[in-house]
């Protein structure tokens, strides 16, 4: 039986009680959509044999193709394999090979014999195919009946589930799929521009409709524009997406900093690396967040030399050389101070570029003239500084994250501008 | 009909396609468990009228009580109300009061008339109860039939859904619930101790079984021990939990740094504040992450004065006063360097406490003697330094987060130790 419709059943009391957020289902959906398979329904049940059997059984009736996650562990809560084996009218047997592997691995690692309860992890339904797990000890299971209806059982631990999806599940699914159409999406990323401003610019665009669906997705990182095409053959889908992206890029120009999962910090680092520029940071209200964003990127040491967390005004003065006169006259959250901080960052880290942030992240500390959310940012390149005042919304965490993101964007736009 | 069993149906192509992670379901589960209501199954369907009707209909058959999220917006994709109205055999009508409110709000905010498509948001099923939305423009809906079977429809935007759950849903559910038992949990948090070590210590505990279920939940922050009681009257549940927690605390002592959502950074800051201690940081591989953790806490400025992001060795020498001889003799990732960094942090930030981190976060830069994951951390209190070498696992992000967390734990344990 070929299929492009699948159901997913995620299993676990943890999920049902809300202790764990189900990220596996979203991961599976994205992986499957890329080969033209639609998840048409998803169910979550607890560690209960009859609930598992009924949810999987109903899903099989509808689509003949089901993927489960969870319930493959060694404890008595783990009931997935036996519940689904019973649904298929199959018995269970010990997989000797896997059991020997588990025993050896356990003894080597823990210097003691494998607990008896772990034996269960090596039990598999009769006639099932074992799906290798390179990231854990529970194998996945593929069970298929004579009519071609199948259930793939994957572990619930996200790292194991993701590895197994790529290693072994996707090839099996692809071989059973007759998809001649796919769902594809492409995201263009912006930051520091309001959704309504973007929408106005997009809607005033000539040349008729985009021919793909467009969603505006605001987050702390900025507003993403997600283009999606559905139910088109693969080459047409790619063409439609790239045409639409091209038109948006013409319209929005340099406001788009990247695509899909692009990280603004990585993009800025790449530009600096290409141009042999180095960065130093000076952070007040963000307290290290901008440095952490930049150093999160492997290889950032070519560009980011270091910086100063100048939370207290003394540190601003003593380490960054901000003058006490400037602080007294304008306050710590001011254009004058942020520019002196950026210059100080360049000087102490001995870099071309100094980035600085000072603001009121809240929830306390706001004043009528400098309410919570008031943030000054600056980018100083070889002594030529740009600074900007933002009134940011959101809670302390959001304000700090936006401050770091918008400072990176200020630098990106400076570096993209034609030399004056 | 009174019930303690509920099903949840979350609605939206976004969820099914994996573009959005479903956090609403977990939130609802935790809220409902606290009043003794169990979610026994959860389903997710796309923006498709027949899928919505079938998923909600099947759930109603099983439990007579269903909560939906999503599909209440103004676009043609939003089909929840009409699908479920049809399932109940009800028509739809315009709620004049809500429509007038929407028109007024829109005109005031955007200085233009309400788009015709938004009219749909004011349509409600005949005989339905409107659930006020203080955080958005789509009202929730409560639809109940003559047999007492009900569906509560909430918006999909998490902020709106959460507000409405607390404001209006919970009182309605509570009135229909005959729960004389609840599900309660309590989490004890540890960091830097392996799950197997914790388990050995707990299992060697005398005094018989804990009487509650115990789960070990490892994450980057450490291993949490979650105690859960189910199906007990509220006062017995509280008593069983606190007895079990008491016994674990006796056993694990100071290894437990907090409960539930406690943040180690906040705990360390509180101890320092009480004892009038100030902190400076010196960060190499974490690049600001430790400073960001501490400054994420509102009010941290009493304690955290600042620090240095010393990514490049020049910055370690020039700003923190690490000697070039030490760097040359031992390398940047060494006990000698981390102790000089911690001393430097104290000196430049003029604080009692200096915290320092230097390590190989990877994925490149490892050597046979200092592989990826090698991290030295130090806490210097008034010139008395403790340092520790860790071999951390995981990817770059995990290694950096663990390094920051374990440094906070090193300080916490130092501060908790009896003065020598």
pLDDT at residue number A210: 81
pLDDT at residue number A239: 94
The closest alpha carbon to B134, from B174, B107, B161, belongs to: B161
Which run of H or of E encompasses B282?
Answer: strand B279-283
Strands A38-45 and A5-11: parallel
The full length of chain A comes to: 420
Q: Which residues of A touch B28 (CB under 8 A)?
A: 18
Contacts of B290 by beta carbon, 8 Å cutoff, 6+ apart: A288, B281, B283, B307, B355, B357, B403, B404, B407, B408
pLDDT at B316 exceeding the cut of 60? yes
The rounded distance, in Å, linking the Cα atoms of A65 and A144 is: 9
Q: Which residues of B touch A41 (CB under 8 A)?
A: 16, 43-45, 51, 55
pLDDT at A180 exceeding the cut of 80? no
pLDDT at residue number A33: 83
Average pLDDT, chain A: 92
The CATH fold assigned to B182-259 is Alpha-Beta Plaits (3.30.70)
**In this structure, are residues A7 and A57 in contact, taking their beta carbons and an 8 Å threshold?**
no
What single DSSP character describes residue B401?
H
Please report which confidence band the pLDDT of residue A3 belongs to, taking 50, 70 and 90 as the band edges: low
pLDDT at A418 exceeding the cut of 80? no
Position with higher pLDDT, B414 vs A228? B414
The tokens 């017995």 sit on which residue?
A: B236
Average pLDDT, integer, range B211-231: 88
Strands B92-94 and B123-125: antiparallel
CATH 3.30.70.2860 location in chain B: 182-259
pLDDT at residue number A34: 77
CATH 3.90.950.20 location in chain B: 264-416
- Chain B CA closest to residue A75: B215
CATH 3.40.980.10 location in chain B: 5-176
Average pLDDT, integer, range B151-175: 92
Range with the largest mean pLDDT of A18-22, A81-85, B229-233: A81-85
Q: How would CATH label the architecture of A5-175?
A: 3-Layer(aba) Sandwich (3.40)
Residue B105: φ, ψ to 5°:
-60, -45
**Does the distance separating the beta carbons of B291 and A364 come in below 8 Å?**
no
To which CATH superfamily is domain A264-416 assigned? CinA-like (3.90.950.20)
Distances from the Cα of B363 to the Cα of A11, A84, A291, A334, B261, angstroms: 34, 40, 18, 39, 31
Give the DSSP per-residue string, A107-130. HHHHSSPPPGGGGGGGEEETTPEE
- Chain A CA closest to residue B313: A305
The rounded distance, in Å, linking the Cα atoms of A165 and A29 is: 11
Give the DSSP per-residue string, A57-83. HHHHHHHSEEEEES--SSSTT--HHHH
pLDDT at B410 exceeding the cut of 90? yes
Q: Which residues of B touch A19 (CB under 8 A)?
A: 26, 30, 185, 217, 226
Average pLDDT, integer, range A261-267: 96
**Does the distance separating the beta carbons of A301 and B285 come in below 8 Å?**
no
Average pLDDT, integer, range B213-229: 88
**In this structure, are residues B221 and B405 in contact, taking their beta carbons and an 8 Å threshold?**
yes
Of the candidates A58, A185, A305, the beta carbon closest to that of B312 is on: A305
**In this structure, are residues A250 and A281 in contact, taking their beta carbons and an 8 Å threshold?**
no
Q: Does B4 touch chain A (CB under 8 A)?
A: no
ipTM of predicted complex? 0.84
**Does the distance separating the beta carbons of A318 and B305 come in below 8 Å?**
no
pLDDT at residue number B207: 72
**Residue B261 Cα, gap to closest chain A Cα (Å):** 12
The closest alpha carbon to B69, from B111, B131, B120, B126, belongs to: B131
The rounded distance, in Å, linking the Cα atoms of B337 and B330 is: 8
Average pLDDT, integer, range B43-61: 96
- Count of Cβ atoms closer than 10 Å to residue A106 Cβ: 16
Q: Which residues of A touch B17 (CB under 8 A)?
A: 29-30, 33, 39, 183
Q: B5-176 domain in CATH 3.40.980.10?
A: yes
Please report which confidence band the pLDDT of residue B3 belongs to, taking 50, 70 and 90 as the band edges: low
pLDDT at A196 exceeding the cut of 90? no
Give the DSSP per-residue string, B148-179. S-EEEEE-SSHHHHHHHIIIIIHHHHHHH---
**Tokens describing residue A329:** 């006259």
pLDDT at A287 exceeding the cut of 50? yes
Question: What is the sign of the dihedral through the CA atoms of B359, B360, B366 and B368?
Answer: positive
Question: What is the sign of the dihedral through the CA atoms of A320, A322, A328 and A332?
Answer: negative
Tell me the per-residue pLDDT of A136-178, one tens digit each, with 9 for 90 and over: 888 999 999 999 999 999 999 898 999 999 989 999 998 887 7
pLDDT at residue number A1: 40
Average pLDDT, chain B: 92
CATH 3.40.980.10 location in chain A: 5-175
**Inter-residue long-range contacts of B316-325, CB under 8 Å, 24+ positions, other chains counted:** B316/B282, B316/B284, B316/B341, B316/B344, B318/A348, B318/A350, B319/A306, B319/A308, B319/A319, B319/A348, B319/B344, B319/B348, B320/B282, B320/B344, B320/B345, B320/B348, B321/B347, B321/B348
* Edge-to-edge strand list for the sheet holding A129-131: A129-131, A140-144, A150-154, A65-69, A5-11, A38-45, B38-45, B5-11, B65-69, B150-154, B140-144, B129-131
Q: Which conformational region is residue B365 in: left (phi greater than 0), alpha (psi within -120 to 50 degrees), or beta?
A: left
The full length of chain B comes to: 420
Within B204-288, residue ranges assigned H as helices are: 234-252, 264-274
**Omega cis (within 30) before A102:** no
pLDDT at B218 exceeding the cut of 90? no
Average pLDDT, integer, range B11-36: 88
The rounded distance, in Å, linking the Cα atoms of A92 and B378 is: 53
Q: Does A123 touch chain B (CB under 8 A)?
A: no
A36-40, A195-199, B235-239, range with the lowest pLDDT: A195-199
Q: Which residues of B touch A291 (CB under 8 A)?
A: 283, 287-289, 291-292, 309, 311
The rounded distance, in Å, linking the Cα atoms of A247 and B259 is: 52
**Tokens describing residue A175:** 């071989």
Residue A22: φ, ψ to 5°:
-80, 95
**Does the distance separating the beta carbons of B296 and A400 come in below 8 Å?**
yes
Average pLDDT, integer, range A391-399: 91
Contacts of A109 by beta carbon, 8 Å cutoff, 6+ apart: none
Q: What spatial distance separates the first Cα and last Cα of chain B, rounded to whole Å?
A: 65
pLDDT at A2 exceeding the cut of 60? no
pLDDT at A60 exceeding the cut of 90? yes
- Chain B CA closest to residue A58: B58
Please report which confidence band the pLDDT of residue B2 belongs to, taking 50, 70 and 90 as the band edges: very low
pLDDT at residue number A419: 59
Q: Which residues of B touch A216 (CB under 8 A)?
A: none
Q: Which residues of A touch B296 (CB under 8 A)?
A: 287, 396-397, 400
The rounded distance, in Å, linking the Cα atoms of A358 and A282 is: 9
What single DSSP character describes residue B287?
T
What share of chain B in percent tops pLDDT 90? 70
């Amino acid at each position: 039986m070929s299929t492009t419709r699948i159901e997913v059943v995620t299993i676990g009391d943890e999920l049902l009680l809300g202790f764990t957020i189900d990220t596996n289902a979203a991961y599976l959906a994205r992986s499957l959509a890329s080969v033209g398979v639609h998840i048409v329904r998803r169910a979550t049940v607890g560690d209960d044999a009859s609930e598992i059997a009924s949810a999987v059984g109903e899903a099989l009736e509808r689509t003949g193709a089901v993927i489960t996650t969870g319930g493959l562990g060694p404890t008595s809560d783990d009931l997935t394999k036996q519940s689904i084996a019973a649904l298929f009218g199959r018995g269970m047997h010990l997989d000797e090979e896997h059991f020997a592997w588990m025993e050896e691995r356990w003894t080597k690692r823990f210097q003691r014999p494998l607990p008896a309860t772990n034996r269960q992890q090596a039990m598999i339904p009769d006639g099932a195919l074992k799906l290798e797990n390179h990231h854990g000890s529970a194998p996945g299971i593929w069970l298929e009946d004579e009519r071609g209806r199948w259930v793939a059982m994957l572990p619930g631990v996200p790292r194991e589930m993701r590895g197994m999806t790529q290693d072994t599940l996707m090839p099996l699914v692809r071989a059973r799929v007759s998809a001649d159409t796919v769902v594809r999406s492409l995201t263009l990323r912006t930051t520091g521009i309001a959704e309504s401003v973007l929408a106005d610019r997009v809607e005033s665009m000539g040349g008729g409709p985009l021919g793909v669906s467009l969603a505006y997705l605001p987050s702390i990182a900025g507003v993403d524009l997600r283009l999606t095409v559905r139910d088109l053959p693969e080459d047409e889908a790619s063409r439609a997406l790239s045409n639409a992206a091209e038109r948006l890029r013409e319209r929005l120009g340099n406001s788009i900093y990247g695509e899909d999962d692009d990280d603004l910090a990585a993009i800025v680092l790449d530009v600096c690396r290409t141009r042999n520029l180095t960065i130093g940071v000076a952070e007040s209200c963000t307290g290290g967040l901008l440095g952490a964003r930049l150093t999160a990127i492997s290889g950032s040491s070519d560009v980011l030399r270091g910086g100063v967390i100048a939370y207290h005004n003394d540190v601003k003065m003593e380490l960054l050389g901000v003058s006490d006169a400037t602080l007294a006259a304008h306050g710590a959250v001011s254009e004058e101070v942020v520019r002196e901080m950026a210059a100080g960052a360049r000087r102490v880290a001995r870099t071309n570029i100094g980035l600085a942030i000072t603001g009121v992240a809240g929830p306390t500390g706001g004043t009528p003239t400098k309410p919570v959310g008031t943030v000054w940012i600056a980018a100083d390149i070889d002594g030529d500084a740009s600074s900007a005042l933002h009134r940011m919304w959101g809670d302390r965490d959001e304000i700090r994250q936006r401050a770091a993101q918008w400072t990176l964007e200020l630098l990106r736009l400076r570096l993209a501008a034609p030399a004056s």
